[in-house]
């Protein structure tokens, strides 16, 4: 498992506005989209490509195309949905699958409540979108699920990660072909497993509190 914390002034600036409790939902959604596009640029560095012959107005030349099957993007519902637009802007030909996961707020265990993914992911490169890597439970289950279907490698794009969650993932996925791309590794988790300093509940900040 590899971890990449993206160090860029644009990322740091957008993240600062996201963290601010006074930032309203519409601005929060817009900034999340922009931030994900910046993270996606780094996260797609190893995307598989092949040479392709094309004709410019001037001559024939060899360019670059994604190999088939194209990458699969998997937002984790609900908060990962707020990251989808930022990712597909950069990789419009990617296929999109969905994984609905929630954590039991008492046991903090991740449960899968919905799934819409190809049955066979053999050889597929998968990009998972989940804004908050807190305890790591949700991502661990998602990554295991994707490898069980045959994915060749999984890249998780997150806004924030807690050191405790990264440590937990590392101890289970050390040898796995997994990359975590994150805008910031924060200080710690609090007693309710929220990331500190964090940005609060990402789903609520994106979509408001739905009962
Ligand atoms: N999920 C969130 O939305 N925020 C956190 O701080 C931790 C998990």
**Which pLDDT score, from 0 to 100, does residue 211 have?**
53
Atom 2 of ligand 1, nearest CA residue: 201
The predicted pLDDT at position 210 comes to 62
Q: Say which residue, 142 or 107, is predicted with more confidence.
A: 142
Give the least confident one: 58-67, 76-85, 141-150, 202-211.
Answer: 202-211
pTM for this predicted structure: 0.94
Is the pLDDT at 152 greater than 90? The verdict is yes
CB 129 within 8 A of CB 76: yes
Write down the architecture of domain 2-199 according to CATH.
3-Layer(aba) Sandwich (3.40)
pLDDT at residue number 106? 76
The alpha carbon of residue 85 and the mean position of all alpha carbons in its chain are separated, in whole angstroms, by 12
Q: What pLDDT score was predicted for residue 194?
A: 97
Burial 158-168 (b: 16+ CB within 10 A, else e): bbbbbebbbeb
Q: Kindly report the average pLDDT of the chain as a whole number.
A: 95
First-to-last C-alpha distance (Å) of the chain: 37
H-type alpha helices, the chain = 9-19, 25-43, 84-90, 137-148, 163-173, 202-207
Q: How far is the CA of 137 from the centre of ligand 1 (A)?
A: 12
Question: Which two three-digit tokens encode residue 106?
Answer: 């008492």
pLDDT value of position 17: 98
Q: Please confirm, yes or no, whether 124 is among the known catalytic residues.
A: no
- Is residue 122 marked as binding? no
Q: What percent of the chain clears pLDDT 70, i.e. is strictly above it?
A: 99
Does 202 sit in the ligand 1 pocket, CB within 6 Å?
yes
pLDDT digits (tens, 9 = 90+) for 22-72: 999 999 999 999 999 999 999 999 999 999 999 999 999 999 999 999 999
* Domain boundaries defined on the chain: 2-199
What is the distance between the alpha carbons of residues 196 and 139, in angstroms, rounded to a whole number? 19
Answer whether 134 contacts ligand 1 (Cβ < 6 A).
Answer: yes
Look up 107 and say whether it is catalytic: yes
* Long-range contacts of the stretch 49-53 (C-beta < 8 A, 24+): none
């Amino acid at each position: 498992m590899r971890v990449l914390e993206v160090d860029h002034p644009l990322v740091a600036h957008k993240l600062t506005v996201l963290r601010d409790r006074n930032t309203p939902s519409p601005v929060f959604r817009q900034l999340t989209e922009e931030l994900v596009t910046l993270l996606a640029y780094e996260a797609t560095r190893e995307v598989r490509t092949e040479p392709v012959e094309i004709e410019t107005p001037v001559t024939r030349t060899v360019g670059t195309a994604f190999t088939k099957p194209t990458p699969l993007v998997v937002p984790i519902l609900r908060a990962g949905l707020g990251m989808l637009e930022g990712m597909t802007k950069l990789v419009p030909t990617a296929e999109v699958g969905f994984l609905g996961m929630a954590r039991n707020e008492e046991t903090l265990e991740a449960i899968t409540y919905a799934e819409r993914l190809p049955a066979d992911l053999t050889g597929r490169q998968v990009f998972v979108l989940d804004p908050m890597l807190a305890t790591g439970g949700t991502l661990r289950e998602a990554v295991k699920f994707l490898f069980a279907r045959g994915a060749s490698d999984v890249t998780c794009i997150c806004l924030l990660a807690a050191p405790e969650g990264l440590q937990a993932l590392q101890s289970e996925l050390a040898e796995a072909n997994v990359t975590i791309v994150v805008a910031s590794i924060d200080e710690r988790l609090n007693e309710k497993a929220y990331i500190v300093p964090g940005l609060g509940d990402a789903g609520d900040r994106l979509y408001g509190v739905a009962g």
